[in-house]
Amino acid sequence: MRVDCDGNSRAIPVVGPNITYDEFLGGFLHPLQPCIITGLTESWPAIKEWTTIDTASGNLVPNCTALRDTFGAYDGCITFCGETDGNGDFRQREMPVAQFIDEFRENSDEGRSRKMYLKDFHFMRVNPSLRQPYTVPLHFQGIKLVL
């Protein structure tokens, strides 16, 4: 199956999660060809615990309450897209994750478009006692050297 990207002749192949590493390597990675691999995240605890279905749209959205409860006490680097400092760099500042989530919700609820993101937040480092929320798919683990 192919997905038409933009109505032109370019198309991106769609493959299932059972594609072997050798098939992925030879068919996509080595020739630098894009593909969409479906079904890789369905078993991840993060999908079940940190997302929810929006009843109005039926879309999968972040579960802000669960994320706030789990990570709210920690600080993260927030980048404010479209807001630059005197050097022309995006404005950034440290803030508690709870405050970031509250501002994210407020902007979303009020239809504002302030774009910001939690940059380089290594959640497993701040709380290593968490159950592993995801696994890196075989296709992206890279080559492991055995000495």
Judged by DSSP in three states, 55 sits in: coil
Q: What are phi and psi of 12, to 5 degrees?
A: -110, 125
72 and 118: one domain? yes
Q: Annotate 88-141 with three-state secondary structure.
A: CCEEEEEEEHHHHHHHHHHHHHCCCCCEEEEECCCHHHHCCCCCCCCCCCHHHC
In this structure, are residues 14 and 3 in contact, taking their beta carbons and an 8 Å threshold?
A: yes
In a domain, 131, yes or no: no
Domain that includes residue 8, residue range: 2-40
Where is pLDDT greater, at 39 or 126? 39
For the chain, the residue count is: 147
Mean of pLDDT over the chain: 84
pLDDT digits (tens, 9 = 90+) for 30-47: 999 999 999 988 889 999
Cα-based distances in Å from 128 to 23, 58, 70, 113, 145:
34, 33, 12, 33, 26
Crossing angle for the helix pair 97-109 and 64-71, nearest 10 degrees? 160
In a domain, 82, yes or no: yes
* Number of domains forming the structure of the chain: 2
114 and 52: one domain? yes
In a domain, 76, yes or no: yes
pLDDT digits (tens, 9 = 90+) for 32-90: 999 999 998 888 999 999 999 999 999 988 999 999 999 999 999 999 888 889 999 99
Kindly indicate the confidence band of residue 1, based on its pLDDT and cuts at 50, 70 and 90: very low
In a domain, 62, yes or no: yes
In a domain, 59, yes or no: yes
